[in-house]
Amino acid sequence: MLLPPSLSALLGPFTPTAVPDTEDLLDATWQVDAAIDHVLKLLDPDPAGLADGSFTGPTGTTLMLAAPDRHTPGLYLRLPDGGTTPTTTAPVATVTLPLAGTLHLAAYRHRVDAVRGRPQYLRTLDPGQLAVIHTGATTSLTGSADSAQLIVAHQPPAHRGSLPLTVADCRRAGEHARACLTTPPEQHDKYFRTQGHWLGDIPALHPTDLDRFHHQSAPALTRLAADRPLMNRLVETLRFDPERFEASRTTLLTDRLVLHAAEQRGFEIRLNASFRPDNQRVPHDHAHPLTTRVLTGGYVQHVYRRTDRGTGPFTSRDLAPAVTTTELPGSTYSLAPALVHQAVMLPGSTTLQLRGPRTRTATAASDLVLSPIHRPAPDDGEPLLHSRPLTDAEHETLREHLVGQGLLSGRPRAHL
């Protein structure tokens, strides 16, 4: 198998209460190596034989590696030229596995969002990070000119205006594919040399659209994830900062430490850990736009489109799957406040999150909200709450957990 068996479930319909088993989707290393080897064998010795069923369009070329039949989906290799595909509503589900370069995914709640240029979910995928675009989802894709993606679909992923490839064009596309798949990527320095507290230089984030918010916030989280000395200092000094300590809380979904509070500039940066997986499975939206970067662990994220009026309370029966992505360490994505999503998480997952200004009241699928026993335990007999500040002991336990994961330096301190 080139791709995990659970993908067959993702290509078909499912509901928030019966999402497919996803642990094997998060083991991406073997997927990319096996897929590249298989693709190269199909391209060798002469890709001209692939001309039948292959096509080119305004944003790149697609080679049909294996034709679909009644029972088996087809296998395609997409070679983008750096342009953005037209925004379309998917007629059937497709699985995309980036093999080289980067792929930018934009998802919309409905066609009106697309017409107005207002994406609700933005995601940059690197090799090995799967994306499933479900039937009925409205999306657009932008692949870097050095990228290649393996696509599994029951029909060719062609757009209006696509043209068949000639034999000569197919040979050229095959040469380009080999170059993309066999040239080692540049070895970028993953760590930034920083001088001082550069977080104060992040510009104000008062987004008018998610695209602008993502392009401002994602680089900041990438830099902070690499600046471990700064992250360590922010956690260690939290207890001496009453504002950040008060804002660091245990909640229905997770425990969070506030690393940087900049309300006057419209954002807050959090480190989220000790997730409550059962609660993450409840489809929900948010009160703020947010950008998240995965540090450890990982999860499969299901993004849903609402089939009701699209505002106010909802149940699981009002949702249809739109996009499924694998969120591995290094994954960075942004969500608009009204977008409904659901995370199936691995134990020990930890993320950085930049939260933008509050725009609405958050909601969750009312028929799936868990009982109060799943909420944070009360402190000293207090009533159960949706969230409350971390105690000194809880803060220290969380810090020790982060040290144990290698995210922070130092050794556990004796409890005060």
List the pLDDT tens digit at each of the 416 positions of the chain. 456 667 777 888 888 888 877 776 776 545 788 889 889 988 877 777 788 889 998 789 999 998 988 888 899 999 998 888 889 999 989 999 999 998 999 999 988 888 888 999 999 998 888 899 999 999 999 998 889 999 999 888 888 888 999 888 888 899 899 989 987 654 333 322 333 468 888 888 877 789 989 999 999 999 999 998 889 888 888 877 888 888 998 887 889 999 999 888 899 999 999 888 777 888 999 999 999 999 999 999 999 999 998 888 999 999 999 999 999 999 999 999 999 999 988 888 999 999 999 999 999 999 988 765 455 665 666 665 577 888 888 888 888 889 888 888 765 444 33
Cα 373 from Cα 394, distance rounded (Å): 19
Distance CA 272, CA 164 (A): 49
Q: Say how far apart CA 82 and CA 59 lie, in whole Å.
A: 7
Tokens found for residue 357: 């200004």
Distance set, CA 55 to CA 63, 79, 139, 160, 260 (Å): 7, 11, 20, 11, 49
Give the model's pLDDT for residue 121. 95
pLDDT for residue 385: 59
**How far from 105 is each of 98, 191, 209, 296, CA to CA, in Å?**
12, 26, 16, 22
**Helix crossing, 392-404 with 228-236: angle to 10°?**
160
The pLDDT value recorded for residue 381 is 61
3-state secondary structure of 39: helix
Query: pTM for the complete prediction?
Result: 0.83
For residue 259, CA distances in Å to 262, 269, 329 come to 10, 6, 19
Count CB atoms within 10 A of the CB of residue 164.
Answer: 13
Give the model's pLDDT for residue 17: 84
Separation of alpha carbons 153 and 288, rounded Å: 34
What confidence score (pLDDT) does residue 9 get? 76
The residue written with tokens 């609660």 in the block is 279
